[in-house]
Amino acid sequence: MSNAVLKPVLAARSVSKRFPGVLALQNVDLDIYAGQVNAILGENGAGKSTLMKILSGVYTEYEGSLLLDDEPVRFTGPRHAQDLGIAIIHQELNLIPHLTVAENIFLGREPLTRLGFIDYRKMADDTRALLQKLNSDIHPNSAVENLRVGQQQIVEIAKSLSLNARIIIMDEPTSAISEHEVDILFGLIKSLKADGVAIVYITHKLDELDKIADAITIFRDGKYITSGPAAEFTQDDIICSMVGRDMDDFFVKDEVSIGEDVLQVENLSLKHPARVNDYLLKDVSFHVKKGEVLGIFGLMGAGRTELFDCIFGVYGKSHTGSISIDGINVSIENPQQAIEAGIGYVHEDRKSAGLIIEMSVAENISLADIQQVEKFGFLSSQAEQNLAKDYIQQLKIKTPGTTQAVEKLSGGNQQKVVIAKWLATHPRILFLDEPTRGVDVGAKNEIYKLISELAGKGLGIIMVSSELPEVLAISDRILVMSEGQLTGEFTPSQATEEKLLSAAIPKSIEA
C-alpha cells in the first residue's frame, strides 16, 4: 500500500485533550485515507473514543489541529462535522426510542411536501430502500424502542448511509449484532470503500481485522503507538502494542471437576406477548451441573436473553414448564425469588440493567443483598466498605477506592462490579449474558479467568455469547438456540464454528 503518496482525507496533528485529572489524549497523530477501512485499536481508556469525539465535532475544545483535505478545520459542533461529510455511529446508540425508524433516520432533515408538512410517504420509502440495501426487514414505521439492540444498530448504520458521509466513524459496530448481520455490514463496508468513503473502524474484535481492515492505528494510554497497513501486523503484534506486554494466546479454561445437576429446566415455554401462536421460548429443556460452564450460542433474536429473563422471573408467571434447583422444584415469579433461589444474572446491558451508574462501587456491590451490610437494622458503612474491598481484591477491580462512582470506571471494571454484586448474593447458578461486550482484550482474559475460577468453586455457569471463539474457548458444553428453541448440543471438541452456525441459523432464513 502506498500511504506515502496517498494523502489523508482527514488527519489529526498533535492533538491533546485534557479532562479533569486525566490527560485523555497526548500529542496524538492520525491519518484517515479515503477508500480504506482505517482500524483504530486500543484497550478501553486508550483514548479512541475521545479522539473520535474530536473528529466528529462532539468535543470542540482540544489542543492541536485537524486537517480535512489538507486544510486546517475546527468543527463548531457535531452538525458542522456532519455537514462536512463526517458521520459517527456511536457505540451507545443515539436513537430516540419513541420515534419510528424512519423518523429517526431523517431526524432534523425530514423531507417536506410542497405545503411544508413532513412527507411521511417519502420518508418511509427512502427508509425502506436504505434498509433493503442492508438486507434488513425492519419496518420503517416500527418504533425504535420495540427493536432489539442489533436491529437498532442497523438503523444507525442506515442513518449514516443516508447522510452520504465521506467519512464514517464506526465505534464497535459489531459489538451487538449477529454474525449474519456482521457479514452484511462487512459487505456494505466494502461497497462503501469502493465508492471512496473512508471508514474509521473501532473494534475490540481482532479477528475482524483480517476480513476488513486496510490500515491500522494503535493507541495506548492516550498515546499514539504505531500505525501502518494492516497486512504488516500479526495478531500478536497488535495485542502486544495494545497492552504493552506479551500475552498468551487465547484463553484456555482450567479443568474442573463437574458435579451434580444444579439447575434443571424442563419444557420451558413463553408465549409472545403480542403475537398470537408465536413463542419467545418453546419447549426448552436443559440442565447445568456444578462446576460446569454451559455456553449458549445463538444469533440476535434467538431467544437467549429471553431464556435468562424468563428463568429469572422477569416475565412473572407467564411461562409454562418447570425449573428445579438442586433437584427441588422452584417457582420463580420475580427476580427476588430468583435471587433467593440462588441465581445471579449479569445482564447484557450493563448500563441500563446492571449498574446504578450514579452510585459508588461499594453501593453497587451490596445492592442485591444489602442485609449482609446491616447492623441492628441500619446500614453499616464499615461493613459495606469491607464487603466491597473483599471483592475489589478478589476480582482485581481497578478503582481508586470503594466510594468511587462506577460511572468513572472502564467497561471491564464496571463489568467486574456487576459480577461482584452477584457473587455477594452467594449464588449457586450464575447467568452471564454477553459478559465481555464492550470490554477490552486485557480485561476480557481476566473475565474468562474469573469465570473459570468461579466454576472451580462449584458454581453452575451459563454464558450467552455471540462471539464464537469465546463460546468455544470457555464452555464445557455448548447449546445452540434459534427462534426460541434449542437446536443443537455440542461438546467443545465436537464443535466447530461451521457446526454451531448452521445450528444457529433460523430455518426460515435458510429456506
Binding residues vs other proteins (CB under 8 A): 20, 312, 314, 334-336, 338-340, 345, 347, 352-359, 363, 367-371, 374, 377-379, 421, 425
Q: 72 or 400, CB closer to other proteins?
A: 400
Provide, rounded to whole angstroms, the least separation between the CB of residue 311 and other proteins: 13
Q: 168 or 307, CB closer to other proteins?
A: 307
CB neighbour class for 367 (10 Å; exposed up to 12, middle 13-18, buried from 19)? middle
Q: 368 or 468, CB closer to other proteins?
A: 368
Q: 220 or 421, CB closer to other proteins?
A: 421
Tell me the three state secondary structure of residue 252.
coil
Q: Which of 6, 151, 115, 156 has the alpha carbon at shortest distance from 69?
A: 6
Provide, rounded to whole angstroms, the least separation between the CB of residue 353 and other proteins: 5
Provide, rounded to whole angstroms, the least separation between the CB of residue 405 and other proteins: 11
User: With contact defined as beta carbons under 8 Å apart, do 48 and 40 qualify?
Assistant: yes
Q: 26 or 425, CB closer to other proteins?
A: 425
Q: How does strand 293-298 pair with strand 477-482? A: parallel
Provide, rounded to whole angstroms, the least separation between the CB of residue 84 and other proteins: 29
With a CB cutoff of 8 Å and minimum separation 6, the contacts of 25 are 15, 16, 17, 47, 50, 51, 54, 62, 222
Q: 163 or 367, CB closer to other proteins?
A: 367
Provide, rounded to whole angstroms, the least separation between the CB of residue 339 and other proteins: 4
Which DSSP helix (H) or strand (E) runs through 282? strand 279-289
Amino acid at 298: G
Question: Rounded distance, CA 370 to CA 388, Å?
Answer: 12
Range list of β-strands (E), 42-108: 63-68, 71-73, 86-89
Provide, rounded to whole angstroms, the least separation between the CB of residue 368 and other proteins: 4
Q: Which of 485, 481, 483, 435 has the alpha carbon at shortest distance from 461?
A: 435
Q: 391 or 448, CB closer to other proteins?
A: 391
Q: How far is CA 223 from the centre of its chain?
A: 24
Provide, rounded to whole angstroms, the least separation between the CB of residue 389 and other proteins: 19
